[in-house]
């Protein structure tokens, strides 16, 4: 549905040009939620803004449902933008307008008749479950409610695509949950395709089908959410995921100094979850294994999780135990 190939966006600063997006190619299927993660300055926002030409790409191709986006003239581009909604970290609502008027705004721009606007706004208020707030002003809403209004406004013209640039980043966990649920419902009920930038691991895990990792303007890795978190291919992604882990409320950072033995992070998926791998190691290799911390997740219908363990014993035996774990299909990361 969305095809991006060899996209480049250069900025020129004081005569020097700089590639914020550097030869990026990817595709997103209809009804998919595609996540983009990466450090600050990686080029995520610039990439996403190129999709509706809020930034004009320097080079490359973008096709959406067969339409060559970069070939559109101004008028056709404005028309095409109806198909692409966008939400932002700080909601960008009109503070002097009521919830109703905020949602009605894109329809007024499109010169919809009044009755049609009213019908559509009520439908959207129902969709975001905020029917009782139609006359409220944004200042009287929680962050999550504001973002749901922003989603309703973005969905007003029934776009095929919704772009979210850190749409849940400014919210507490409960409001994040509500917005995530609204986004899921958008895909489920309206078959919208979502591209979302996020730095919240829980959000990425919970909602994305696939994730791209950006660094220095490039996509350095792309995978399904379970494979990316279970077995990141590049060092940068591993580091990035570790940095996310540290901010994950469920997993405090490990103090590696505290441990005498090898410290391993074992990640397993639905194929390895139920296997008695640790007990086999203890029996067969005469090592001791101390459980440090762990977590289980459910992504759609698949379970996956990790366990941080300390392995003590004869170095040869420890190595054999490690090889055995790898053979069984567990992804082993040596932390110490
Ligand atoms: N209009 C601009 N002019 C010049 N440089 C820009 C412009 N917009 C972005 N950049 C630069 O492009 C790079 C990528 O910026 P971008 O905002 O896309 O990063 P990001 O991955 O979204 O970061 P963050 O996570 O902080 O939002 C940065 O180095 C930024 O300074
Ligand atoms: Mg950004």
Please list every protein residue whose CB sits less than 6 Å from any atom of ligand 1.
Answer: 11, 13, 20, 38, 40-46
Ligand nearest to the CA of 199: 1
- The atom number, within ligand 1, closest to the CA of 42 reads 21
CATH assignment, 250-334? 3.30.70.260
Shortest-distance atom of ligand 1 to CA 214: 21
Ligand 1 centroid–CA 19 distance in Å is: 10
Tell me the helix, strand and coil percentages in the chain, rounded to 5: 40, 30, 30
Classify each residue of 287-314 as buried b or exposed e, where b means 16 or more C-beta atoms within 10 Å of its C-beta.
bebeebeeeebebeeebbbbbbbbbebe
Which pTM value belongs to this model? 0.75
What is the tens place of the pLDDT at every residue in 263-308?
A: 998 877 667 777 788 888 899 999 999 988 876 655 444 456 678 8
Residue nearest to atom 10 of ligand 1 (CA): 20
What CATH number was assigned to the domain covering residues 2-234?
Answer: 3.40.50.300
The model's pLDDT over 32-88, given as tens digits with 9 standing for 90+, comes to: 999 999 888 999 999 999 999 999 999 999 999 999 999 999 999 988 988 999 999
CATH 3.30.70.260, the chain: domain bounds: 250-334
Alpha carbon distance 11, 34 (integer Å): 26
Start and end residues for every CATH 3.40.50.300 domain found in the chain: 2-234
Compute how many other C-beta atoms are within 10 angstroms of the C-beta atom of residue 62.
19
User: In this structure, which residue's CA is closest to atom 26 in ligand 1?
Assistant: 40
CA distances from 182 to 133, 141, 192, 207, 233 (A): 16, 16, 12, 11, 32
Of 32-36, 151-155, 198-202, the poorest mean pLDDT is in 198-202
* Ligand 1 pocket mutation, candidates 17, 46, 47, criterion most atoms within 8 A of CB: 46
């Amino acid at each position: 549905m969305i095809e991006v190939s060899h996209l480049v966006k250069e900025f020129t600063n004081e005569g020097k040009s700089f590639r914020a997006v550097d030869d990026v190619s990817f595709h997103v299927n209809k009804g998919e939620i595609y996540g983009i993660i990466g450090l600050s300055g990686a080029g995520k926002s610039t990439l996403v803004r190129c999709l509706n030409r809020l930034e004009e790409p320097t080079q490359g191709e973008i096709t959406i449902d067969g339409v060559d986006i970069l070939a559109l003239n101004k008028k056709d581009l404005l028309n095409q933008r109806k198909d692409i909604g966008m939400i932002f970290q700080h909601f960008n609502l009109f503070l002097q307008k009521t919830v109703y008027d905020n949602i009605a705004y894109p329809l007024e721009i499109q010169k919809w008749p009044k009755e049609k606007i009213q019908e559509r706004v009520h439908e959207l208020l129902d969709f975001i479950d905020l029917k009782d707030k139609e006359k409220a002003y944004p200042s009287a809403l929680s962050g999550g409610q504001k973002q749901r209004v922003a989603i309703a406004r973005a969905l007003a013209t029934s776009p095929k695509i919704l772009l979210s640039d850190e749409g849940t980043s400014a919210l507490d966990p409960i409001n994040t949950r509500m917005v995530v649920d609204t986004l899921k419902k958008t895909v489920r009920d309206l078959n919208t395709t979502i591209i979302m930038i996020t730095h919240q691991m829980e959000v990425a895990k919970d909602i994305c089908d696939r994730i791209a990792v950006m660094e220095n303007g490039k996509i350095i890795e792309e995978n399904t959410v379970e494979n990316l978190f279970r077995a990141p291919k590049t060092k940068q992604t591993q580091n990035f995921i570790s940095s996310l882990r540290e901010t994950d409320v469920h997993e405090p950072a490990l103090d590696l100094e505290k441990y005498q033995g090898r410290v391993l992070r074992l990640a397993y998926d639905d194929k390895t979850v139920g296997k008695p791998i640790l007990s086999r190691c203890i029996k067969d290799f005469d090592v001791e294994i101390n459980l440090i911390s762990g977590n289980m997740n459910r992504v759609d219908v698949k379970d996956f999780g990790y366990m941080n363990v300390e392995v003590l014993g004869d170095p040869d035996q420890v190595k054999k135990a490690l090889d055995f774990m790898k053979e069984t299909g567990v992804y082993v990361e040596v932390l110490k």
